[in-house]
Amino acid sequence: MAYKPPYVINTSILNKVATIMKMIGKFSSLNNLSSLPLLRRKNQIKSIHSSLAIENNQLSESQVKDIINGKLVIGPQKDILEVQNAIRVYEKIQDINPYTQKDLLKYHKLLMTSLVPDAGSYRKGQVGVFDDEKAIFMAPPADRVPSLINNLYDYLNYYDENIFIKSCVFHYEFEFIHPFSDGNGRMGRLFQTCLLAKEEALFYYLPVESIIRKKQQTYYEAISKSNLEGSSNVFIEFILDAIIETMNETLKQFNIDKESISVQAKKLLRIFEDGIPYTTLELMQKVNLKSRSSFKMHYLDPLLKAGMIEMTLPETPNSRNQRYVKK
Of the candidates 125, 259, 264, 232, which has an alpha carbon nearest to the alpha carbon of residue 182? 125
Do 214 and 70 lie in one domain? The reply is: yes
Do 238 and 267 lie in one domain? The reply is: no
Q: Which helix (H) or strand (E) holds 135?
A: strand 134-138
Q: What is the pLDDT of residue 170?
A: 98
Q: Is residue 4 part of a domain?
A: no
Strands 324-326 and 309-311: antiparallel
* CATH number, domain with residue 315: 1.10.10
Last residue of a domain, one of 258, 274, 292: 258
Separation of alpha carbons 124 and 138, rounded Å:
14
CB atoms within 10 A of CB 162: 15
Contact 48, 71 (CB under 8 A): no
Summarize pLDDT for 18-33 with one digit per residue, the tens: 999 999 988 876 655 5
Main-chain phi, psi angles of 131, to 5 degrees: -110, 100
Host domain of residue 85? 11-258
Separation of alpha carbons 174 and 188, rounded Å:
6
Contact 85, 113 (CB under 8 A): yes
Is pLDDT of 260 > 70?
A: no
Do 176 and 94 lie in one domain? The reply is: yes
pTM for the whole thing?
0.77
Q: What is the pLDDT of residue 38?
A: 60
Q: Is residue 75 part of a domain?
A: yes
Q: Is residue 109 part of a domain?
A: yes
Q: Is residue 133 part of a domain?
A: yes
Is pLDDT of 242 > 90?
A: yes
Q: Is residue 2 part of a domain?
A: no
Do 84 and 148 lie in one domain? The reply is: yes
Do 74 and 119 lie in one domain? The reply is: yes
Average pLDDT over residues 250-279: 77
Do 132 and 251 lie in one domain? The reply is: yes
Over the chain, what is the mean pLDDT? 90
Confidence grade of residue 308 (pLDDT, cut at 50, 70, 90): confident
Residues 6+ apart with CB under 8 A from 125: 142, 181
Do 239 and 267 lie in one domain? The reply is: no
DSSP single-letter state for residue 141: P
Summarize pLDDT for 6-60 with one digit per residue, the tens: 999 999 999 999 999 999 988 876 655 555 556 677 788 989 999 999 998 999 9
Contact 137, 126 (CB under 8 A): no
Domain count for the chain: 2
